[in-house]
Amino acid sequence: MRSWNLHEIETPGGSRSPVVLESDEAARTVLIGLDPGQELGDHEVKERAFLLVVGGSVRVEAGGKELRAEQGTLISFEPEERRTVSSPDGARILLFLAPWPGAGHYRGDEPSAPG
């Protein structure tokens, strides 16, 4: 068993310093601090993603919808679903990416076409 106190882990530099807590073929767990005004700009990942707001609040835009998510909110994204996550006042979020890495995450990991 392993455990983490998500409120005590330092995330200096905000979104520029994500902390990978656990990573194996089943999933990757990443803690990200968003300093006031920081955002994870328009992006997508190959994996199913779950975002848990650990502290503060975030604004999430995805699929033409917008959500203000407070501490304790869990959000799920489909693989390759584009999104933006921002926090005017600062926040702490935990991302779960599964499986890790998802198919196509790394270039060149797709099977070659029959030749």
Residue 82 lies in a domain: yes
Residue 14 lies in a domain: no
Residue 14, SS3 per DSSP: helix
- On average, the pLDDT of the chain sits at 89
Residue 1, number of CB atoms within 10 A of its CB: 2
CATH of the domain at 61: 2.60.120.10
Residue 105 lies in a domain: no
Residue 105, SS3 per DSSP: coil
Q: What pLDDT digit, counting tens, does each position of 57-94 carry? A: 999 999 899 999 999 999 999 998 999 999 999 999 99
Q: Which residue has the higher pLDDT, 43 or 95?
A: 95
> What local confidence, expressed as pLDDT, does residue 109 receive?
54
Residue 94 lies in a domain: yes
Residue 111 lies in a domain: no
The arithmetic mean of pLDDT across residues 44-54, rounded, is 92
